[in-house]
Amino acid sequence: MKLVRPTIKMLHDHKWQIDKLNPTHDLVICLSGGGRYFLGDVAEPVTLRAGDAMLIPASTRFRGTHSGDAGQFVGIAQHFTLQLFESDDLLSKMQLLPVVRLSTWPVLGPLVQYFRDTAPHGRTTLAQHHQFMVFLLAYLEEAFVDWKSEDETPGAQDQLSVQIMRVAARLSADLMGGEAFDVLSEVPYNPDYFRRAFKDRMGLTPHKFRELKRMEFAASRLGLGVSVKAVAAEVGFGDPYFFSRMFKRYLGASPSSYKPGGERGGNRVEKKLPQK
């Protein structure tokens, strides 16, 4: 996946209008207020409200206006391309609902807000790529209907890639749920084989991937001003000192650097993945 331009920090009043076509995919997530969109040749508009995500496929003309509700339409829009694990663009082969309610919004909402608040001007960062993949996977988990045709049903390796993508979405959304093995038990593959395939494609084992997403969620909470001790407890660490060591291991900076007024690691450096 590649973010092809800096994040658009949407902040639109009642006069806002747009009519355009983008050469790349565009994922729009609403934080507050609302927008009304006409996508392609569809006659009926779709409405985006807080906690909703909408995909505008590449080369699709769209028109948008403020929904007319009180307040500004606030959210993010991120242009991206997706070749899943060096395969074809799977989004073009999927039947997807254009707008979905993100069922994990209580977890994702603060992370989306943090993503918007810390997005640098004129560039993207490695940390943003990891965070945006969580949003995209959450959207796909809710929006997937079917494959467009039998001819476009993915082969064995692509099917494995889709299963990896779905497991990654589950791990990202259920940060405090059961062990990673509980999620792996639902995939139609030998667990040991699937763990190896997951690590090969994602760069981390399922357990470490969940830990990384837990720390990214912690970073979003710290950015909102929550204390290190409170955030540590929220993500399951009784010892804030041990939490701080784990946080720095996964994100490459101390928790204090992500607090308001601190030199946040998400903007300052590209995040380092833990050793495989």
Name the helix (H) or strand (E) containing 127: helix 126-143
135 with 34, same domain: the answer is yes
118 with 169, same domain: the answer is no
The CA distances from residue 170 to 12, 58, 76, 160, 264, in Å, are 32, 26, 22, 15, 27
251 with 145, same domain: the answer is no
118 with 135, same domain: the answer is yes
CA separation for the pair 90, 92 (Å, rounded): 5
222 with 138, same domain: the answer is no
160 with 141, same domain: the answer is no
142 with 226, same domain: the answer is no
**Predicted pLDDT at 169:** 74
CA separation for the pair 219, 115 (Å, rounded): 10
Domain boundary among 135, 153, 171: 153
Helix, strand, or coil (residue 28): strand
**Predicted pLDDT at 210:** 86
230 with 268, same domain: the answer is yes
Per-residue DSSP letter, 245: H
Domain boundary among 153, 181, 216: 153
Find the helix packing angle between 156-173 and 126-143, rounded to 10°.
100
Quickly count: other Cβ atoms within 10 Å of residue 122's Cβ: 6
CA separation for the pair 109, 214 (Å, rounded): 14
Identify the CATH number of the domain in which residue 205 sits: 1.10.10.60
Q: Into how many domains does the chain fold?
A: 2
**Predicted pLDDT at 31:** 97
Domain boundary among 129, 153, 177: 153
Beta pairing partners, 38 = 63
CA 119 to chain centre: 14
**Predicted pLDDT at 94:** 82
Taking only the tens place, the pLDDT of each residue in 36-46 is 999 998 889 99
51 with 30, same domain: the answer is yes
On whether the CB atoms of residues 110 and 51 are closer than 8 A, the answer is no
245 with 136, same domain: the answer is no
Would the pTM count as exceeding 0.85?
no
160 with 249, same domain: the answer is yes
**Predicted pLDDT at 186:** 77
Gyration radius (Cα) of the chain, Å: 19
Identify the CATH number of the domain in which residue 28 sits: 2.60.120.280
CA separation for the pair 269, 127 (Å, rounded): 9
**Predicted pLDDT at 128:** 84
Low-confidence ranges of the chain (pLDDT < 70): 84-88, 149-158, 173-182, 261-276
Give the tokens for residue 219: 């970073």
| Non-local CB neighbours of 149 within 8 Å, separated by 6+ positions | none
Domain residue limits at 191: 154-276
**Predicted pLDDT at 224:** 80
**Predicted pLDDT at 268:** 39
Unique residue bearing structure tokens 């909102």: 224
- Amino acid identity at 212: L
61 with 139, same domain: the answer is yes
Helical residues (DSSP H) of 174-227, grouped into ranges: 180-184, 191-202, 206-223
